[in-house]
Amino acid sequence: MILLETLNSHPVYAIAVAFLFSLLIGSFLNVVIYRVPKMMELEWQAQLEEMQGKEPEQETFNLAVPHSSCPKCGHRIRWYENIPVLSYLMQRGRCNGCQTKISLRYPSVELFTAIVSAFVVYLYGLNTVSLAVVFFTWVLICLTLIDYDTQLLPDNITLPLLWLGLLINSFGAFTSLHMAVAGAMVGYLSLWSIYWVFKLLTGKEGMGYGDFKLLAALGAWAGVDQLPLIILFSSLVGAIFGIMMIVLKQHERQNPIPFGPYLAVAGWITLIWGQEITYQYLQFISV
């Protein structure tokens, strides 16, 4: 309590602490983004082998094991080679073992996580609400990049996010509990309905079930009254980026575009500024 009071009385310190701590979290998020889909793939493979009557290979692969290493030469990454951003700069973006270039994405995720988390603390101060929004932000960063890479939104991330939203709003953090419950239900059913209408009309799947669960989680955090704003923002951003990618020939027209990243961006904006945006809109149309 004394530490929190001290940090809140000096906002610059609170923002700095949030930035530095979130750099470390960003490094962990890189692990989650890479390993969770691999863990899912290994689990599916084990289930398939069991169905075929085979003995699944007992390969240990989780967020802690095996230790991080270079995918090309197998060089084990030591602790001083894994300092967020700094290690990348000191190594000039290359592996110490084989000098293979390290993707710029790793320090980018670390730095982006730190900047956005510090911004949240700048907006709210260092309190329960800001800590909840910061955690919400970390989870959305993971889901965004996992969906972008694999077009998967893992249940073991989206469902805990949903339940956490309901738990937090049982104390009225962002909305009332009944609005949060309604948000989760309507969020899921709205995309589920669109999915089936689209499939019946075209015979194709327009989105995955993970999108339903993600919108349900966003509804649990922001409330049912904010769902139209989330859907509107995500649709607009998705349409703009999709058209741009096709025009710039960075995406084949027939290939599906993951919708999760646009839901995540829209949900984050809506949780922070949704009430204000809605109020300004109502003021505008009442003029």
DSSP 84-129: TTHHHHHTTTB-TTT-PBPPTHHHHHHHHHHHHHHHHHHHH-SSHH
* Tokens at 43, concatenated: 């689990």
Per-residue confidence band for 11, with pLDDT thresholds at 50, 70 and 90: confident
The confidence score (pLDDT) of residue 50 equals 79
Per-residue confidence band for 253, with pLDDT thresholds at 50, 70 and 90: low
For the chain, how big is the Rg over CA atoms in Å? Answer: 21
Report CA 189 to chain centroid distance, whole Å.
21
Per-residue confidence band for 3, with pLDDT thresholds at 50, 70 and 90: low
Read off the pLDDT of each residue in 172-192 and give the average, rounded to a whole number: 95
Residue 251 has pLDDT above 60, yes or no: no
Residue 206 has pLDDT above 90, yes or no: no
Read off the pLDDT of each residue in 74-80 and give the average, rounded to a whole number: 84
Lowest average pLDDT, out of 39-43, 110-114, 227-231, goes to 39-43
Per-residue confidence band for 287, with pLDDT thresholds at 50, 70 and 90: low
The confidence score (pLDDT) of residue 5 equals 67
Of 88, 33, 25, 103, which Cα lies nearest the Cα of 63? 33
Per-residue confidence band for 36, with pLDDT thresholds at 50, 70 and 90: very high
Read off the pLDDT of each residue in 90-95 and give the average, rounded to a whole number: 89
Question: Is the model more confident about 50 or about 23?
Answer: 23
The confidence score (pLDDT) of residue 26 equals 96
Read off the pLDDT of each residue in 147-171 and give the average, rounded to a whole number: 95
Question: Is the model more confident about 226 or about 48?
Answer: 226
Q: SS3 of 141, please? A: helix
Distances (CA, A) of 53 to 40, 42, 58, 225: 20, 16, 15, 50
The confidence score (pLDDT) of residue 171 equals 94
Q: Give the chain's mean pLDDT.
A: 88
**Phi and psi torsions of 94, nearest 5°:** -135, 155
Residues 6+ apart with CB under 8 A from 264: 140, 141, 143, 144, 214
Alpha helix locations (H) across the chain? 2-9, 11-51, 86-90, 105-124, 128-150, 155-169, 177-202, 209-222, 227-247, 260-285
Query: Any idea where the domains of the chain sit in the sequence?
Result: 1-126, 129-287
Residue 87 has pLDDT above 80, yes or no: yes
Could you identify the residue written with the tokens 């863990």? Answer: 39
Per-residue confidence band for 137, with pLDDT thresholds at 50, 70 and 90: very high
Q: At what angle do helices 209-222 and 177-202 cross, to 10 degrees?
A: 160
C-alpha distance across the termini of the chain, in Å: 46
DSSP bridge partners of 101: 94
pLDDT digits (tens, 9 = 90+) for 207-247: 788 999 999 999 999 999 999 999 999 988 887 877 777 77
**Phi and psi torsions of 257, nearest 5°:** -105, 125
Distances (CA, A) of 71 to 45, 75, 96, 169, 265: 21, 8, 13, 42, 31
Per-residue confidence band for 120, with pLDDT thresholds at 50, 70 and 90: very high
Residue 54 has pLDDT above 90, yes or no: no
